Amino acid sequence: LDAIFKYTDHPTYRRMNSQVNQNAIKKTVKSWKSYFQLQKDYAIHPEKYKARPRIPGYVKNLAMTAAYTNQTARFICKDGRAYLQFVNHRQPVLIGRESLYSDMTYVKTEVKPQYGGYSILLTFKEDIILPEVPKFPKRILGIDVGVDNFCAVANNFGDAPFLIKGGAVKSMNQNFNKERARLLSEVTKGSDSTHSKKETKRLHTLSRKRETRLRDFFYKTAWYLVRYAKQQ
């Protein structure tokens, strides 16, 4: 496939860096191979599936996630700051202090269209050796995840059990769904659902705020639970 695109001099293929193109082709081939394997398995064991596997969907948006290797997006440090240097771009992208990435090995970068803009996602490998899980642990912490009670936490070493309430997050999410439905009805009013525009700055801002709040809540919960476990 890579050779065919080169031979036909496809304009979209030529516009991107070769390694980015090859990653896109690999993802597509992987999706189709998975589909063919599912089709074969479905013919033999249809009872395992709720419905016949469908072919991979076509990308309808003009923008999609592009993957860069450590050769096409290099990680560099200069004067105590860390940068990403993309191929064919003179200006590097500042990604924070150099100290944030100490003891970490840079692997790859992805540029993902998100909320009317783009997010740069970096993958690092931490050179941390995790302790072995004991075969017969004596001190055990049990965490039951829910909705109204986001976490119910109990233990076998006599400390008081506790709850992390999830009502505020649940309420925020309900308000998000109501507001999103209202904004969508304004945008799609007088148009059929198939061809109407479903993206606006207000919708992007609303979705971005929701994700930020959820991420903040999840990270704070994880932060608290991990430190509680370490203390005990």
Task: Please say if the pLDDT value at position 217 is more than 80.
Answer: yes
Domain annotation covers residue 54:
no
Is the domain of 119 the same as that of 148? no
- Identify the pLDDT of residue 216: 95
Query: CA angle at residue 194 from 192 to 196, to 5 degrees?
Result: 60
Is the domain of 161 the same as that of 199? yes
Is the domain of 226 the same as that of 145? yes
pTM over 0.85: no
Domain annotation covers residue 122:
yes
- Report phi then psi at 122, rounded to 5: -110, 140
How many whole angstroms separate alpha carbon 230 and alpha carbon 139? 11
Domain annotation covers residue 90:
yes
Least-confidence region, from 12-21, 70-79, 153-162? 12-21
Domain annotation covers residue 17:
yes
How many whole angstroms separate alpha carbon 200 and alpha carbon 195? 15
For residue range 87-141, what is the model confidence (pLDDT) as tens digits? 878 899 999 999 988 888 899 999 999 888 889 999 998 777 888 888 898 999 9
Domain annotation covers residue 33:
yes
Task: Please say if the pLDDT value at position 193 is more than 70.
Answer: no
* Whole-Å CA distances, 176 to 170, 198, 214: 10, 16, 12
**How many domains are contained in the chain?**
3
Domain annotation covers residue 131:
no
- Identify the pLDDT of residue 194: 64
- Identify the pLDDT of residue 144: 95
- Asked whether 180 and 203 are in contact (CB, 8 A), the reply is yes
Is the domain of 191 the same as that of 225? yes
Is the domain of 184 the same as that of 102? no
Beta strands in 17-158 (DSSP E): 66-69, 73-78, 81-86, 93-97, 104-114, 117-126, 141-145, 149-155
Q: Percentage of the chain with pLDDT > 90?
A: 51
Average pLDDT, the chain: 88
Is the domain of 220 the same as that of 178? yes
Domain annotation covers residue 31:
yes
Is the domain of 122 the same as that of 145? no
Task: Please say if the pLDDT value at position 162 is more than 90.
Answer: yes
For residue range 19-43, what is the model confidence (pLDDT) as tens digits? 788 888 888 899 999 999 999 999 9
Q: Containing domain of residue 40, as a range? A: 1-48
Q: Is 116 helix (H, G, I), strand (E, B) or coil?
A: coil
Is the domain of 42 the same as that of 70? no
- Identify the pLDDT of residue 145: 93
- Identify the pLDDT of residue 208: 92
Q: Percentage of the chain with pLDDT > 70?
A: 98
For residue 105, list its beta bridge partners.
125
For residue range 58-79, what is the model confidence (pLDDT) as tens digits? 877 777 888 888 888 999 999 9
Two tokens at 180?
A: 């999103």
Is the domain of 102 the same as that of 184? no
- Asked whether 95 and 185 are in contact (CB, 8 A), the reply is no
Of how many residues is the chain composed? 232
- Identify the pLDDT of residue 195: 64
Q: Which residue has better confidence, 196 or 155?
A: 155
